[in-house]
Structure 1
Amino acid sequence: MTFIQFALNNVKRNTRAYVSYFLSCMFAVTVFFMYAVVIFHPSIREYEFHNVVQSGIIASQVMIYGFSFIFVLYSTGTFVKSRKKEYGLLTTLGIKKSQLNRLLILENTMIGLAAILAGIAVGALLTKLFLMVFSAILGIGDILPFHLSLRAIGLTIILFFVMFELNTLAVVWTLRTNSIMEVFRGSTKSNRKPTFSWFISVFALAAVLYAYYLAYTADITTIGARMFPILAFIIPGTYFLFTQLSIATTSIFKKNKFFLYRNLNLLTISDLAFKLKENARILFIVTILSAVAFTSSGVLFNLFRSVEAETVRFVPQAVSLISNENANLEDFKKTIENVEAQFQDKFIPYESMLASTIPAEMESNSPNWDTTPIMIYSYSDYQKMMDLKDEEKLRHPKFSEAILLSQDLVNRFTAKVPDSLTIKVGQTNTDLAIHREASPLSSSISTNVQLIVSDKRYEQFIQAADASSVRYNYVMHIPNAFDYATETEDVLNRVNTEIAYADSQADFYLMMRQTMSYLFFFGIFISVLFFLAAGSILYFRMYQDIDKDLKHYYSLYRIGLTSKEMKKIAGKQLALLFFLPFSVAAIHAGFAFKALQNILVSNVLLPSIFVYLLYFAVHFINFIIIRNIYTTKLNKVM
């Protein structure tokens, strides 16, 4: 048997140990390769967003490659630790250090090449589907044709081969620094009684709860400032939850004699305390990776779904044409006729009305509202605009009152409006009592604040205003406006900007949909990669400790426990180690979703539940597979 055959046999005999590691690496290669196919696709250069997509994909690939590098380094090191006894035995049998290093390099090179080739093969099979999804998410009319780029294949092979080799050399170096006895002992460690600090345990709980409070009460005005404090509390808090509070919890259960001496709780809890202490750091890493996957997937999915609702929030009217300063009414009406003719040619249904409006300024002792520009509308015109959209109207203001309308976002960022303001129109100043409401009207180029006054007051303002300063607002309501977004944008792009300022839901919707599509497309696969890596890390840890666990269960078997009882204990402990970090990560993500709900107008509950269920299904399948491997090994000790 040659040395290469010896290395190949080692890989074959440890297939079960490497399967999760191999699949995770293969998935990373697959995603990287499919992104590379898009970058080098010849048809993508025909689109305007080519540069943006290329930059986004390159950034995504850097993240995938960087994370894969760390993941492979950790995974390779874990498997070497689990096989240290084997390497120690080979050393005592006379294998040279250079030969042992060569063996390690050969084994990891074989696994790496297999993962690269399998990843590229799977990527090639899924490329057509990937291009279809890419075209659908980015709103490309025609699906990009199937294309396999030799440059994409070459780039993937070179980068990942270099990554596997560098990681292997790093692990070989760490093994080289160990003495023969250390290698022969493997990862065996003496079990010390788990200890904890009540002070740190309480601190961990308080830190996590405070981070939850910050997220729960955050809104669009505070989320940016709170992001770093939330992370600063949640990350160390989570770490100490596993290293301290989990041990404290098991000690509480140990003191409960009624619970401890029922069924097999004594054995389960006693052994669980040691497992939690040994695996605390792993559980922390898995929790953070899972929380990142849940949060990023949920946020991206919710943002992608909320484009229409957010468009209506920021641009309440389907189309709004406001005459520019110095533009005469006749030119403005011709522009309107041209827009209507194009809408009819494109079969876009609409209802419309024309309103006059007066530009003015507010004067106030409050610096936030002094000299603020506004557009004044009569209540009658306001009523017609609301009837156009079939929306509920505000009450009619009295002669001495006015309703100040401003965007919801403006309301949150600006100070409270004074009870009364001085409205300056022409050479006259008028004091009016002010009531503030969220604006159902679109902004103009000059201001996003409107003032609704009674018809009599409006007539008074018209007489005081310079005739040339009066502006006109042509408003259109389009049923199912988003179905005609591209056509609407095309029509409004032709409007003469010297005559009218055009604002539409179509423009905002298409811009936001494109942005959210990019984020969703670039981020979702990275989130899935993080989650699969988290599951793989749990698998690695279980496999590394399996020999020690089998000795423990063999001892229990010899003192009289049945096979059913041992499987029950092992199943409970394995389930807790698997689903505890998943549950904590899900709670972390839940508060992130609550912060997102405080920002968005659309409901994030159902999409978030969908994300949870999808990840739970994958995690549960992973758990079933690993539990079956574990119990199969357990059967061999009896």
Structure 2
Amino acid sequence: MTFRQFAFNNVKRNTRAYLSYFLSCLFAVTVFFMYAVVVFHPDIAHYEFRDIVKSGVVFSQVIIYGFSFLFVLYSTSSFVKSRQKEYGLLTTLGISKSQLNRMLIWENTIIGIASIVAGIIVGSLFTKLFLMVFSLILDIDHTLPFYISLKAIGLTALLFFVMFEVNSLAVVWTLRTKSVMEVFRGAKTSKKAPRFSYILSSLSLAAVGYAYYLAYTANWFNVFPRMGLILVFIIPGTYFLYTQFSIAFTNGLRRNKHLYYRNLNMLTVSDLTFKLKDNARLLFLVTILSAVAFTSSGVLYGLLQSAQTEAKRFVPQDVTFITEGEDNQAAFMDHVNKVEEKFQKKEIPYHSMSARSMVVKSDSAYSDWNDLSIAIYAYTDYKHLMELNQDNAVPKVTGNDAYLMVDEFAYIRQLDPLKGLSIRSGNEKSDLHAQLIGAQLNGNIFGHFTMIVSDEVFDRFYRAAENDEVMYMHAMHTPHWIRYANDIADITDYDFNENFHADSQADFYVTMKESMSYTFFFGIFISVLFFLAAGSILYFRMYQGIDKDLNHFHSLYRIGLTDKEMKKIATKQLGILFFIPFLIAVIHALFAFKILQNMLSASVVLPSITVISVYFVIHFANFIFIRNIYTAKLKKVM
């Protein structure tokens, strides 16, 4: 038997141990390869979005490759650590340091090449489906044809081969510094009773609780400054939650005599205390990776599903066109007529009307509200616009009463200035009693805010208005506009000059849908990769300590525990180690979803439940798979 055959047989004998690692590497190679096919696909060059798509794909590939590099380094180190007794035995039998290093490099090279070949083959098999989904999300009129690029194959194979080899050398470097006895002992060391700090345990709960509070109360105005602060508290808080509070919690269970001495709880809790302490850093890492996967997937999916609702929120009217200045009225109506002709040609149903408006200036003792451009509408025209759009109008205003429309997500400062707010235009001025309402009319480039005034006030200002202070609006209502969103967006994207402003729900919807589709398409695979890596890390840790666990269960078997009782203890311990990180990650993600809900009009409940459910099914299947392997090993000690 040659040395290469010896290394190959070592990998073959440890197939079950390497399986999760191999599958995670295979998934990373597959996704990287399919993205590379998109980058080198010749038909992409014909589309306007090619630069955006290529930038997104390249960015995704960098993240996948960088994370895969760290994941492979960690995984290889874990496997080497779990086999240190084997390496120690080989050393005592006469294998040299250089031969041991060669064996490690050969083993990792074999797994790496197998992952690369299998990943490219699987990627090639799923490339057609990948391109179909890609075409659907990007709303391409036809599916991109099947294409396998030699450049994509070469790039994938080269980068991942280099990654596996560099990681092999890194692991060999760490192993070479250990003595024979250190290698032979492996991970076997005497254990002391786990200790914890009441102060750090309390601070961990306080840090996580404060991060949750910041997330729960976040809004449009403070979310971005708070995001960094939330991470500052949630990451160390989660770390000490595992390293300190988990030990404090299990010690509390041990003091509860009624619970501790009931059935097999004493054996489960006492051993679990050591497992939680030994695996605290690993559980912290798994929690963070899972939370990132849940949060990114849920947020992206929630934004994608909320496009229609947010279009209504940001653009209340279906379609509007506005111009400033009486000199532009004739050209403006000519443009409007062309737009309506296109609507008729596309057989898009609509109702329309025109209304007058004006641009005035604000006066206030408060600088934030002083000298702002405000578009004013007469209440009668406003009411007709609401009837056109099938919305409810606010109660009629008379005298100097007024309504100031303010977008809640954009600009809400002090409300007191409204009590002393005035508007002026030329020689005309009026003190108003204004109250805030939500935006019901589309904004425009000619005014910071929109205000509804009484017909009397509007007529007085209109008679005294200069030519460039008058505005004309043409509004269109399209029943079931979502059916014609793409056509409406194309039509309203008319080449108006700077004197005209067009706005439509369809244009906002299509833009948001496209941008979020790109982001979701690029981000979902990265999120899944993070989650699979988290599951693989748990798998590695189970295999790394399985020999020690078998000795423990063999002792329990000798003192009289039945097969059923030992399987029950093992299942409980595995379940806790598997689902505690999942549960904490879900709670972290739920508060992230709360931030999103505070910023959106659409409900994110259903998208959140959908994402968490999908991940739970995958995680539960992984748990059943690992549990079956673990309990099968237990039979050897019975």
* Same topology, TM > 0.5: yes
Alignment of 1:13 with 2:13, yes or no, is yes
Structure 1: distance between partners of 2:18 and 2:388: 65
Aligned 8 A contact 1:377 1:452 in 2: yes
Q: C-alpha displacement at 1:333, in angstroms?
A: 2.3
Aligned 8 A contact 1:85 1:186 in 2: yes
1:369 maps to 369
List aligned pairs for 1:372-411, cutoff 5 A. 372-411=372-411
Q: C-alpha displacement at 1:219, in angstroms?
A: 0.7
Q: C-alpha displacement at 1:168, in angstroms?
A: 0.6
Aligned 8 A contact 2:290 2:585 in 1: yes
Q: C-alpha displacement at 1:482, in angstroms?
A: 3.0
1:201 maps to 201
Structure 1: distance between partners of 2:416 and 2:6: 78
1:332 maps to 332
List aligned pairs for 1:139-288, cutoff 5 A. 139-288=139-288
Structure 2: distance between partners of 1:20 and 1:224: 38
Q: C-alpha displacement at 1:411, in angstroms?
A: 3.9
1:518-562 Cα deviation digits (max 9, x unpaired): 211111100000000000000000000000000000011111111
Alignment of 1:108 with 2:104, yes or no, is no
Change (3 A) 1:198 1:419: same
1:269-295 Cα deviation digits (max 9, x unpaired): 111101110010100000000000000
1:544 maps to 544
Structure 1: distance between partners of 2:515 and 2:233: 31
- The one-letter amino acid of 2:177's match is T
Q: C-alpha displacement at 1:388, in angstroms?
A: 1.0
Q: C-alpha displacement at 1:322, in angstroms?
A: 0.8
- The one-letter amino acid of 2:431's match is D
- The one-letter amino acid of 2:365's match is N
List aligned pairs for 1:309-458, cutoff 5 A. 309-412=309-412, 417-458=417-458
Alignment of 1:84 with 2:89, yes or no, is no
SS at 1:419 equivalent: helix
Higher mean alpha-carbon deviation, 471-480 vs 489-498, is at 489-498
RMSD: 1.3
Aligned 8 A contact 2:324 2:470 in 1: no
Structure 1: distance between partners of 2:416 and 2:249: 48
Higher mean alpha-carbon deviation, 504-513 vs 9-18, is at 504-513
SS at 1:368 equivalent: helix
Structure 2: distance between partners of 1:376 and 1:64: 52
Q: C-alpha displacement at 1:48, in angstroms?
A: 0.8
Change (3 A) 1:515 1:43: same
Structure 1: distance between partners of 2:40 and 2:616: 35
Structure 1: distance between partners of 2:531 and 2:295: 11
Structure 2: distance between partners of 1:538 and 1:30: 22
2:500 maps to 500
Q: C-alpha displacement at 1:495, in angstroms?
A: 4.7
SS at 1:357 equivalent: strand
1:81-111 Cα deviation digits (max 9, x unpaired): 1111111111111111111111111111111
Aligned 8 A contact 2:355 2:381 in 1: yes
SS at 2:220 equivalent: coil
1:457-495 Cα deviation digits (max 9, x unpaired): 222222222355322100011122233233223323335
Structure 2: distance between partners of 1:40 and 1:372: 51
Structure 2: distance between partners of 1:327 and 1:506: 29
Structure 2: distance between partners of 1:327 and 1:493: 23
1:14-49 Cα deviation digits (max 9, x unpaired): 000000000000000001001100000000011111
Aligned 8 A contact 2:326 2:471 in 1: no
Q: C-alpha displacement at 1:425, in angstroms?
A: 2.3
Higher mean alpha-carbon deviation, 388-397 vs 450-459, is at 450-459
Structure 2: distance between partners of 1:469 and 1:597: 39
1:249-269 Cα deviation digits (max 9, x unpaired): 011111111111110111111
Aligned 8 A contact 1:246 1:276 in 2: yes
2:72 maps to 72
1:476 maps to 476
1:625 maps to 625
SS at 1:322 equivalent: strand
Change (3 A) 1:247 1:413: same
1:554-596 Cα deviation digits (max 9, x unpaired): 0111111111111111110010000000000000101010011
Aligned 8 A contact 1:407 1:448 in 2: no
Q: C-alpha displacement at 1:416, in angstroms?
A: 5.3
Aligned 8 A contact 2:316 2:442 in 1: yes
- The one-letter amino acid of 1:443's match is G
Structure 1: distance between partners of 2:256 and 2:435: 61
Identity of paired residues, percent?
59
Q: C-alpha displacement at 1:454, in angstroms?
A: 1.6
Alignment of 1:616 with 2:628, yes or no, is no
Structure 1: distance between partners of 2:551 and 2:411: 66
Aligned 8 A contact 1:357 1:375 in 2: yes
Structure 1: distance between partners of 2:596 and 2:504: 25
SS at 2:418 equivalent: coil
List aligned pairs for 1:14-29, cutoff 5 A. 14-29=14-29
Runs of 4+, deviation exceeding 4 Å: 413-417
Structure 1: distance between partners of 2:121 and 2:106: 22
Change (3 A) 1:498 1:618: closer
Unaligned runs of 5+ in 1: none
Give the TM-score normalised by structure 1: 0.98
Alignment of 1:462 with 2:462, yes or no, is yes
Change (3 A) 1:498 1:582: closer
Q: C-alpha displacement at 1:451, in angstroms?
A: 1.3
- The one-letter amino acid of 1:284's match is F
Structure 1: distance between partners of 2:592 and 2:327: 49
Aligned 8 A contact 2:326 2:470 in 1: no
SS at 2:475 equivalent: strand
Give the TM-score normalised by structure 2: 0.98
Structure 2: distance between partners of 1:585 and 1:159: 32
Change (3 A) 1:448 1:240: same
Aligned 8 A contact 1:331 1:499 in 2: no
Change (3 A) 1:19 1:378: same
Change (3 A) 1:545 1:138: same
List aligned pairs for 1:512-531, cutoff 5 A. 512-531=512-531
Q: C-alpha displacement at 1:632, in angstroms?
A: 0.3
Unaligned runs of 5+ in 2: none
Aligned 8 A contact 1:323 1:471 in 2: yes
2:593 maps to 593
Aligned 8 A contact 1:324 1:501 in 2: no
Change (3 A) 1:312 1:265: same
Q: C-alpha displacement at 1:312, in angstroms?
A: 1.4
